Amino acid sequence: MKQIQIPGKNFPIFVYDTYEEASLAAAEFVAAEIKKKPDFLLGLATGSTPVGLYRALIEKNKKGEIDFSEVKTYNLDEYYPISPRNEQSFLSFMKENLFDHINLKPENVHIPCGEAPDPNLEAEHYEKELLAIGGVDLQVLGIGSDGHIGFNEPDDAFILPTHLVTLTEQTISDNARFFPSKKDVPTHALTMGIGAIMRAKKCILIANGKNKARAIREALLENPSPANQASILQFHRDVTFFLDHDAASEILSFLQDAVADPV
């Protein structure tokens, strides 16, 4: 592991040789936070990136190292329309990869309803829940290859409240691996907006793989822009990045070049 510092930026960036090492380190961070507050408010992400983190948290719970009995969870997003019983729904994903393996009470799980009759009303309802809690204690984030966090896709603005979003072609293509075919991927999703993410008291972002290197470079090195939604995290009060070497590769190259050719 190495910790790197980007000139002019204050957020910690930890780089690990492998995805597994990054996931375990992120799990240690999350577990330490939960231990501080039994009724922890934990924001969760889906996709392949946090699976390693969730496996490590399951093991810690089984060993009695952390307790989820009073923890409340708030997921970033859900496909729309989709039944929660659909095996590709994010609720099913969370049950398979975390919820069904820890002592988390079902009534403490919060996630947008993918089969709500009116998605805009569901977005308003979820946003009211998020405003009522005043921000989660810790928000877990992944990042899309286009820089999206949650399903906040590249745009010309940062959308603050929970909303219905049309998924980009790139996101649909990236997520097609989870479905029988690309045509089966939902074209819309309900997602927390940037406002709820920025209200989180702490955030961690985990990224792995070469396909995330450009998005990470843009998010951390370039001026914040809604073209890369993760770049807004440069303004977050307490965000930590856990990257494997491949995801950090373009940042590492930038830093090497800066040292080799100082201005």
Could you list the active site residues?
77, 146, 148, 153
What single DSSP character describes residue 152? Answer: B
Tokens 């919060």 locate to: 110
In this structure, how many other beta carbons lie within 10 angstroms of the beta carbon of residue 2?
11
Query: Among candidates 11, 19, 21, 8, which has minimal Cα distance to 212?
Result: 19
Residue pair 94/44 in contact by the 8 Å Cβ criterion: yes
What single DSSP character describes residue 38? Answer: T
Residue pair 39/48 in contact by the 8 Å Cβ criterion: no
What whole-number distance in Å separates Cα of residue 54 and Cα of residue 102? Answer: 10
Tokens 């979820």 locate to: 126
Give every strand in the sheet of 188-191, ordered side by side: 77-80, 188-191, 163-166
What whole-number distance in Å separates Cα of residue 77 and Cα of residue 253? Answer: 33
**Residue 190, both tokens:** 């309900």
For 57, how many CA atoms within 13 A lie in the half-sphere containing its CB? 29
CA distances for 80 relative to 113, 153, 165, 228, angstroms: 8, 15, 9, 23
